Chain A
Amino acid sequence: GESVGLHLPTLSVQEGDNSIINCAYSNSASDYFIWYKQESGKGPQFIIDIRSNMDKRQGQRVTVLLNKTVKHLSLQIAATQPGDSAVYFCAERASGNTGKLIFGQGTTLQVKP
Chain B
Amino acid sequence: NAGVTQTPKFQVLKTGQSMTLQCAQDMNHEYMSWYRQDPGMGLRLIHYSVGAGITDQGEVPNGYNVSRSTTEDFPLRLLSAAPSQTSVYFCASSYSPLGQPQHFGDGTRLSIL
Interfacial residues, chain A to chain B (CB-CB below 8 A): 31-32, 34, 36, 41-46, 49, 51, 89, 93, 97-101, 103-106
Contact = CB atoms under 8 A, between A and B. Distances in A.
Q: Tell me whether chain B's interface is mostly helix, strand or loop, or mixed.
A: strand
B104 A43 contact: yes
A97 B98 contact: yes
A98 B48 contact: yes
Contacts of B33: 99-100
Contacts of A89: 42-43
Nearest to B99: A32
Contacts of A105: 40, 42
A49 B92 CA distance: 16
Interface of B: 4, 31, 33, 35, 40, 42-45, 48, 50, 56, 58-59, 90, 92, 94, 96-99, 101-107
Contact of A100 (B48, B103, B104): B48
A44 B90 contact: yes
Nearest to A32: B99
Nearest to B3: A43
